[in-house]
Each structure stands twice: as structure tokens, then as C-alpha cells.
Copies of this chain bind each other. A is one copy, B any other.
Amino acid sequence: MRLIISREHLLKGLTVAGKAVGSKASFPILMNFKLTLDEKGLTVLGGNNELTISTLIPYMIEDKEIIRNTKHGSTLIGSKILTEIIRRIECDEVSITVVDDTIVKIEGGKSSFQLNSMKPEEYPEIDLEQTGVVFDIDSRELSKLVEQTSFAASAKEQRPILMAVNLSAVDGKLVATATDSARLARKEIDLEDEIEFSANVPAKTLLEITRMFESGGKVTTAVSDKKILFSFDSTLVSSRLINGEYPNTKNIIPKTFNYFLEVNSAQLVAAMERASLLSQERENVVKLTMTSSTLEVASRSAQIGSANETLSTFQFNGDILEISFNSDYVISAIKALKTEDVTIAFIGEMKPFVVKSDKDPSIVQLVTPVRTY
């Protein structure tokens, strides 16, 4: 393999594929990039056990030559050292030459590097085929779907299935569900295609992937038994799926409520953030006390002291209600809604309650209260 390539475009490719290369991979071979030059251009592939990213740098972009003086081939080079060199080297074009199976030469400006390399055959086989259910979706809509739900997935490894966002397609809708069993977030968007599937995608990985959709436009998504594959721009991103059946959460969200609180999102968040300063050792539990004329947020810690916040602009229909909960859950639910006001609908002080907004009926969030103190 031999090529001269625009430093800027190479660095961009390395940065994209580098998002899949962790500092500690379980297999040392995964600390490398696989570089392949063929008739399409230079493909940079990086991966870890969960996520694989493959991005293509073409020979020409518009009328500009990006890659020249080439000989097809493939090699493995340490991802971190290659990225750092290309980031710091001072020149417009970089020359890459595979000297033999063990050495790659990188040259540019007044710098010259000989990097130890490995044979491309040593890299594991990666399936990046578009198999299974294939559909197109607007990248911004998909990003928002994931951002508004993935935070509710579990961070704990006891029940791996709860570390996933469940994506399911049915009846012309794509539904994302995430729950850590104490709270749940669900959002749906319309699909153009009549398709059906259900896939459990690791929540953190899915969020990382959707954050890569910079340029807007369509993403082609392919869901099979083993993987979910996203294609956009010149990049393919594949995540493994989590095996097992996602818990049935369809009927978990109550339909009728006894109390409704309507309140400004930012004001309630600020009051809960202040109050929870006093209960950081108690899972940020705060108590909301509502009557038709008063709204209070309170917290208490034997060690530190107590906090009391009042809000003046709100609407509450119903008698007095006192309910305690982890304020982090309600704060992230409100922030995910991204609306000026929110409605919190309650059944009673020990029943799960719903955080929602009339402005965006596509999303609903459920939070379980904690026993009051």
C-alpha cells in the first residue's frame, strides 16, 4: 500500500473511526486502525467489542484531489500514535508507505516516522453488510429520539438488558424505550416504511453513534439479529445488540390521573437542583408539596441541614398532595422534554407519576416515587 493524502481529510477520517477505539480494548489488536486502499479510496476502520466504525476517504472531493500516487493494499497501525502524528505533523499532504508486513513509513514536511505495523489478516472479521430490516430515517429525528430516551437506561450491569434502549418498529412508528426500573422514558416517531423489528441497542453506544450525525440528511439503518448498522455520509457504524427479551412496558404507563401540576420547567428544575444540594447523600431525594395555592420543594439531611423552596407560578388541580422522589430523575425527564412548561400527572403519593408536555405528545416519562421521610 502506498499513497499521498490530504492531511486534513486523513485526520478527519482517523477522528471519526477513532471514536470506536478505546484506550483499553479487551483485544490488543483492536487498538489498531485497519487502513485499506482500494478503487473506492482509503477506508479507515476502528472498533471495539461493541462498536465498529468504517469511514471512506475518496480519491476526489468535488474537484479536489484528496489521494494520489497510489498502490492498493492494507495494513494495521496503532490508532493513537497515528492520530497524534497526523494531528501534529506540519504539512498539507502526508505520504504513507507500507514498507513490509512490519513497517509503515509516514512522511510529511520535515518529519519522518517509521511505525511498527501488523498484517491486515490479523484483524478480526467484521460484518458490515446491510442485512435484515432496512429503512431510511432523518438523522436529526433519530438523534433526538435517542437523546430524549437513552438517559433513562440503567448504568448498572446487573441486568444487561436494561442498559439498552429498545428500538421497535410497528404500525408505522419507531418507538424508543429506556428504563432502569425506577423510571422510564418512551418516545415515538413516524416511519415512512411499513416494517417490524425489535432491537436492544446498548444505550451509551447508541447515543455516541447518533452524536456522529453531524451533517443532517438521511441515515440508512439495517437491523438484523446480531447488529444494527447505520450508513451516513461515507461512514458505516455498527453496534452489537443485547440478547434477550426487553421487559414488556406497554401497559406500565397509567392512563388516568387524580392530580395535575402545570409549572415552568426552568423554575422547577432550579428549585429542585438547589434543594437536592442537601440530599446528595440520600439519592437526591426531595419532597414536593402541592396545594391549589402553594407549591413547595423541600429536602433534609441530618448531617447538613434542610432546604425549602417555594414556587409562585403554577397550576395544581386537586387536594393537597405530598410526594417524594429522586430529583435527578425528574430533572432529567423535564430537561429531555425541552419545553417551556411541563405537566406532571399523579395518581397518589406512592404511585408512579408521569412527566409530559402538551407541546410534544410523542414523548412520555414515568418516575417511581420513594417513601417519604
Chain A residues within 8 Å of B, Cβ to Cβ: 78, 81, 84-85, 88-90, 103, 110-116, 270-271, 273-274, 277-278, 303-312
Contacts and interface: CB of A to CB of B under 8 A. Distances in A.
B304 A81 contact: yes
Contacts of A115: 304-305
The copy count of this chain in the complex is 2
Given A88-B274, A90-B270, A111 B307 contact: yes
A278 B88 contact: no
A88 B304 contact: no
5 contacts: A81-B278, A81-B305, A88-B274, A110-B309, A113-B306
Nearest to A112: B308
B85 A116 contact: no
B305 A110 contact: no
A309 B312 CA distance: 67
Task: List 8 tightest A-B contacts by C-beta distance, closest first.
Answer: A115-B305, A112-B308, A110-B310, A114-B305, A114-B306, A116-B305, A113-B307, A88-B274
Contact of A309 (B111, B274, B277, B303): B111
A85 B274 CA distance: 7
Contacts of A278: 81, 113
Contact of A277 (B88, B305, B308): B88
A18 to B, nearest CB: 15
A312 B110 CA distance: 9
B103 A305 contact: yes
Contacts of A307: 111-114
Contacts of A78: 304
Contacts of A312: 110
A10 to B, nearest CB: 16
A310 B271 CA distance: 60
Contact of A311 (B85, B110, B271, B311): B110
A277 B84 contact: yes
A144 to B, nearest CB: 28
A111 B84 CA distance: 50
A84 B280 CA distance: 12
B81 A113 contact: no
A90 B308 CA distance: 13
A89 B88 CA distance: 45
A111 B113 CA distance: 62
Contacts of A308: 111-113
A143 B280 CA distance: 38
Nearest to A116: B305
Contacts of A311: 110
A112 B305 CA distance: 11
A311 B90 CA distance: 12
A111 B274 CA distance: 8
A305 B89 CA distance: 16
Contacts of A303: 116
A277 B86 CA distance: 11
Contacts of A270: 88, 90
A356 B306 CA distance: 59
Given A81-B304, A90-B270, 5 more contacts: A81-B278, A111-B309, A113-B278, A113-B305, A113-B306
